[in-house]
A = this chain, B = another copy of it.
Amino acid sequence: MGLSIEWRNPLRIVSFCLFVMMMLTTSAVEAKVRHYKWEVKYQFQSPDCFRKLVIGINGKTPGPTIIAQQGDTIIVELKNSLLTENVAIHWHGIRQIGTPWSDGTEGVTQCPILPGDTFFYKFVVDRPGSYLYHAHYGMQREAGLYGSIRVAVPDGVVEPFTYDYDRTIILNDWYHKSTYEQATGLSSKPFVWVGEPQSLLIHGRGKFNCSSPTIGSSDTCNTTNPQCAPYTLTVVPGKTIRIRLSSLTALSALNFEIEGHNLTVVEADGHFVEPFVVKNINVYSGETYSVLVKADQDPSRNYWLASNVISRKPATPTGLGILNYYPNHPSNYPPSTPPTGPLWNDSDYRLAQSLKIKAHPSHIIAPPVETDRVIILLNTQNEIDGFRRWSVNNVSFNLPHTPYLIALKEKLRHKIVQPNPNATASNAIYRLKFNSTVDIVLQNGNSMVPNTSETHPWHLHGHDFWVLGHGKGKFDPMEDPKKYNLVNPIMKNTVPVHSYGWTALRYIADNPGVWAFHCHIEAHFYMGMGVVIEEGVEKVGKLPTSIMGCGETKSLIRP
């Protein structure tokens, strides 16, 4: 789907919009099993005008949007048509209750899918809201293998806000070097850093300066390529649009702004938010928001959609799209200078916005007032045996080649140990008492660049958690919990820990399975910034053999 509308024909746009709205309306009352057939394959694409190899789904990046209604069963029949590479896809924000083997996390919940193989992901979308999917194997997400999931409320249920129609926008950053080159650099001695992304994409489209001296032969970059025509969002004056906004950046924290328009934040990671109005919104990799935008400005012109890098010193130009007021021509560039976003290093601004996000008054799910266990996770960057790594409590995480879920459920001879604070690298896991309440405090520390502390968006699989608090400096386990918001904390699956700050979250370990919890920056997880958490694995049903076939799980397959 997406919103890449043909430019030149306004009639086409209107009929397209009618078609989309009709489809959405009818789909909401359709059958409860939604079966998708996807083929994953390499293709050449020029998302930012620079031609490179991407991994597409049915020929597209971003891939097809999954459109469903709460309670539906999704079946994605995924055929791997890559030549020599395996694949796995994670359904980001879907809790996989009863289907932990469908989480799509290579090394944690499944073996990778081999070239030529077809894997069936089957799961229930049990909550309405805006979610994502993306590759969860190596660094394949960065190759373009991602998309969105939109789950409607059940028939007769009303959301606590109104809008005329909705659209999905996935923000991204984009590298010209391949994921192999990036990964090889990250694991080289000495460390080779790929640098800042070349472009910011708004729903798969950006614009690289093709006359830059850093690119080679001119046939690889062409600013007139329709594949990099700016993303255009057409609005009808006076109407209110819901934008399902998310980020799947490899590296960048982003700020999104629509020139001259306020954004009313109404949803975060599938939960209704006490509405608040912002001029622009910070979105971290792995987060989704819904924002309402009223087309209430001068309708005689178009406006900029803009994404800007925050939290790191920007070296990537603003990502631009067009808010098109119907019936202006969608390709008319706005007559103004695009928004440049807030100061990149204004961490107070970012902290303040994080603190604004609270549950909607009529949709509060109260957290348990007490916790059974507190786990503090200190995030640092280290040099280990000459390799640049990220560590959590001084342990840098390595994904094993026997997936945890299978190893633990099938009691394979597999090294399962509690993290050892003296260890430097490990694939150890946290085991939680089933149904217990656990607090996790993310404590930010230094990177290896002096006086630098990066923002890390942490994503938990299999769960939503309550965000109890964010704070500056070192977490005080005696004092800070007294300030926790236990009244109306928002639930999320991804939350940032700000520079030199801390973030406290709570959840109930009530979803049998094994779940990754990690920084959603692709390079950071690859460099060790993650942990794996087990709960009630003995309650997990019979594992499908389709998730097996790698590491020590080969011998478990029976006809």
Contacts and interface: CB of A to CB of B under 8 A. Distances in A.
Contact of A557 (B178, B214, B554): B554
B117 A550 contact: yes
A369 to B, nearest CB: 44
A106 to B, nearest CB: 8
Contact of A42 (B53, B184, B551): B184
A214 B217 contact: yes
A188 B545 CA distance: 34
Contacts of A217: 213-214
Contacts of A117: 401, 550-551
Given A43-B188, A83-B138, 13 more contacts: A42-B180, A42-B183, A43-B184, A84-B86, A86-B115, A116-B400, A117-B550, A117-B551, A214-B217, A545-B554, A548-B554, A549-B554, A555-B557
A140 interface: yes
Nearest to A177: B53
Nearest to A106: B84
Contacts of A304: none
A372 interface: no
Interface in A26-61: 42-44, 53
A216 B137 CA distance: 30
Given A139-B83, A178-B53, A184-B42, A555 B558 contact: yes
Given A84-B85, A215-B216, A401 B137 contact: no
A549 B551 contact: no
B84 A114 contact: no
A84 B178 contact: no
B180 A83 contact: yes
Contacts of A114: 86, 111-112, 114, 401, 550-551
Interface string A540-553: 00000100111100
A133 B115 CA distance: 23
Interface string A82-122: 01111100000000000000000000000110111100000
B557 A184 contact: no
Contacts of A111: 114
A188 to B, nearest CB: 7
Contacts of A557: 554-555, 557
A115 B549 contact: no
Interface residues of A, number: 44
A181 interface: yes
A421 interface: no
Contact of A116 (B139, B178, B181, B551): B551
Nearest to A217: B214
14 contacts: A42-B180, A43-B188, A53-B178, A53-B181, A83-B139, A83-B183, A84-B86, A84-B138, A117-B401, A117-B550, A545-B555, A549-B550, A555-B558, A557-B557
Contacts of A558: 555
A401 B115 contact: yes
Contacts of A184: 42-44, 53
A203 to B, nearest CB: 24
A477 interface: no
A450 interface: no
A335 interface: no
Most buried by B among A86, A185, A213, A215: A86
A138 B114 CA distance: 13
Contacts of A112: 84, 114-115
Q: Which 4 A-B pairs have the closest CB atoms?
A: A116-B401, A216-B216, A84-B138, A555-B559
Contact of A84 (B140, B185, B213, B549): B140
A178 B85 CA distance: 14
Most buried by B among A85, A139, A550: A85
A550 to B, nearest CB: 5
A185 to B, nearest CB: 8
B216 A44 contact: no
A83 B525 CA distance: 14
A227 to B, nearest CB: 15
Most buried by B among A111, A112, A549, A558: A549
